[in-house]
Amino acid sequence: MKKIETIGLHGRSLICGLWISVASMVLYAVPAAVFAASLLYTVSVNSSSANPSPVFGSITGAMIFMPQGIGFEHESLRLTITPLLLTFLMILSIKTIARKNEMNRVSFCAGLAAWISETFFAVSAAPLKIIDSNASVLWKAALIFCLGFFSAKISDRRKDKSKISLYIKILAKIQQNTNRNLRRAIQYGMRICTAVIAVYILAGTITAAVWIFKGLPDAADICDKINMPVPVRLFAFAVGLFWFPVYSVWAISWISGAGFSIGTAGSFTLWSSNADGLPLVPAFAILPSSVENPVLRQFLMLLPAAAAFIIGLYILVSPKHYDIFRFSGRPKPELNFRSLFKEFGYPFMAVCFGAVLAVLFCALFCWISYGSIGQNNFRSVGAAPSEAVKMIGKAVSRGLFGAWIFTAAASYVFYLVSEKKSDSEKTGFKKQEHKEIDFIAESAEKPDHSKKDPKQKKIPRKASSADCKAVKNKTVQRSQTEN
């Protein structure tokens, strides 16, 4: 009976995995097919072209495998730049379906195999020349499904904390066998990386939006020159939005000073803009011009480093995180190598870990947004990963390490000031102690006129050691209460 129940549970999980894969593909592919059909119909009606049905399968297949990073060639067109917005929608469809079904190892393996099969079917059905090898198609499709499935699993675990998974057990084992300060350094380093990437994406999105709004009149002029109808313009704008995240990555590279290029036909930086060799395409009209104002140019170049500096400063100074300025109020006996390393060494490790992670993610985004949109002069389009990572890495490292150096120097200055203040208070207490002792000695030397005895000789009394000790104890108690 147990074996039958186990087989039944595995069969149910198998069906759930297949359903997750098929339903996710349908949820994504049906709107993509509708969009492709609407685009082709609009183009055919406004241009009086022939029957566009043979191209329908190519466009629909391209909208399925291109978001997974699979490039293709068709006549003079060679497209390898990933439309990241479609990639996000594909991962979101997998996550949406997976959250409503059973998620375990069997369902994951079944869904993964089905998703890879569907991707290979789309690749083989489309009459396009695929640039990637079969192994590359395999791991890219697997990566997309894993991102969607595990994002659904993580969100499900956050909602239902009663579920105990292998992931939680591994985390508990790590917490038992690692140092708490080291875990905090890794955790805060990941927070630094997340904050830096989020701020950079926001800055790139705003910059790309400014490019679009400034370039809309030029794009409209190009559409008028090539006699593009208004419905086709709207569809062209919608297609361009699929690559809007790619424009944002280019904008980040442009702000940092690395710039980007459209093959050998055009190059764009903060200092120069060369678009003479670009064809009359509306998408090229929104690309930026050089910044003539030197103050604004310098401000844009300092923006990535300043953002990293503010994020690092917040993590190091905030009472919710390291609160590194606590060091300034500590007395001398607690200052040793261990305490100094705990106060400054672990924050330095967090800053290093966050900087490395941020640079790695920037390199990944630059690599995804770099590719080709044609043959010959348009084979290398986008921000060159080596140059972009070099400039962005400099900005991130300068900002984060500058924040650490600033906090270390400021805490040392505060410590010196507090030490000087405590020394002045101690000297003040010592002066007050000597004054009280002298007062007792002077009062002891004065004769007592209340009891007059002519036979008794007047012998001056000096202050005893007990009186001095009593005064010292009083001053010590007073200093302790004031502290």
**Residue 453 covered by a domain:** no
Sign of the alpha-carbon dihedral angle for 99, 104, 110, 115: positive
| 468 and 405 share one domain | no
Q: What is the DSSP string of 341-384?
A: IIIIIHHHHHHHHHHHHHHHHHHHHHHHT-B-SSSGGGSSEE--
Which of residues 153, 177, 201 is at a domain's end? Answer: 177
37, 38, 42, 43: CA torsion to nearest 10 = -40
| 295 and 312 share one domain | yes
| 402 and 464 share one domain | no
Q: Which amino acid is at 425?
A: E
User: What is the distance between the alpha carbons of residues 186 and 192, in angstroms, rounded to a whole number?
Assistant: 10
Edge-to-edge order in the sheet of strand 72-74: 77-79, 72-74, 129-130
| 270 and 392 share one domain | yes
The pLDDT of residue 468 is above 60: no
**Residue 95 covered by a domain:** yes
Enumerate residues 6+ apart whose C-beta is below 8 A from 156. 99, 103, 163
Per-residue pLDDT, 100: 83
Q: Predicted confidence band at 202 (pLDDT cuts at 50, 70, 90)?
A: very high
Which of residues 151, 177, 203 is at a domain's end? Answer: 177
| 154 and 225 share one domain | no
Least confident of 118-127, 182-191, 321-330: 321-330
Are 351 and 308 in contact by the 8 Å Cβ rule? The answer is: no
Enumerate residues 6+ apart whose C-beta is below 8 A from 418. 328, 329
| 173 and 192 share one domain | no
| 387 and 478 share one domain | no
User: Which residue has tokens 């894969």?
Assistant: 21
**Residue 192 covered by a domain:** yes
**Residue 68 covered by a domain:** yes
| 69 and 102 share one domain | yes
Q: What is the DSSP string of 4-30?
A: HHHHHHHHHHHHHHHHHHHHHHHHHHH
Average pLDDT of the residues in 70-83: 84
| Residue 199 burial (C-beta neighbours within 10 Å; 0-12, 13-18, 19+) | middle
Per-residue pLDDT, 455: 47
Residue range(s) defining the domain that contains residue 465: 420-446+459-482
| DSSP bridge partners of 79 | 72
| 106 and 123 share one domain | yes
Per-residue pLDDT, 219: 86
Which of residues 161, 177, 193 is at a domain's end? Answer: 177
CA distances from 418 to 337, 415, 421 (A): 20, 5, 5
| 86 and 230 share one domain | no
**Residue 454 covered by a domain:** no
| 379 and 266 share one domain | yes
- Among the residues of 226-285, which ranges form H helices? 230-242, 244-256, 282-285
3-state helix, strand, coil in the chain (%, to 5): 75, 5, 20
Q: End-to-end CA distance of the chain: give it in Å, rounded.
A: 75
- Among the residues of 66-133, which ranges form H helices? 84-99, 105-125
Average pLDDT of the residues in 215-227: 85
Per-residue pLDDT, 432: 53
| 234 and 274 share one domain | yes
Per-residue pLDDT, 198: 93
Q: What is the DSSP string of 174-228?
A: HHHHS-HHHHHHHHHHHHHHHHHHHHHHHHHHHHHHHHHHHHHHHHHHHHHHTT-
User: What is the distance between the alpha carbons of residues 153 and 104, in angstroms, rounded to a whole number?
Assistant: 9
The pLDDT of residue 395 is above 50: yes
- Total count of domains within the chain: 3
| DSSP bridge partners of 274 | 267
Task: Name the nearest CA neighbour of 275 among 211, 321, 328.
Answer: 211
Task: Name the nearest CA neighbour of 281 among 207, 323, 219, 212.
Answer: 219
> What is the three-class DSSP state of 261?
strand
**Residue 88 covered by a domain:** yes
**Residue 342 covered by a domain:** yes
> What is the three-class DSSP state of 130?
strand
**Residue 5 covered by a domain:** yes
Q: What tens digit of pLDDT does each residue of 399-429 get?
A: 999 988 888 888 777 767 766 665 555 555 4
Are 200 and 363 in contact by the 8 Å Cβ rule? The answer is: no
User: What is the distance between the alpha carbons of residues 392 and 271, in angstroms, rounded to a whole number?
Assistant: 17
pTM over 0.85: no
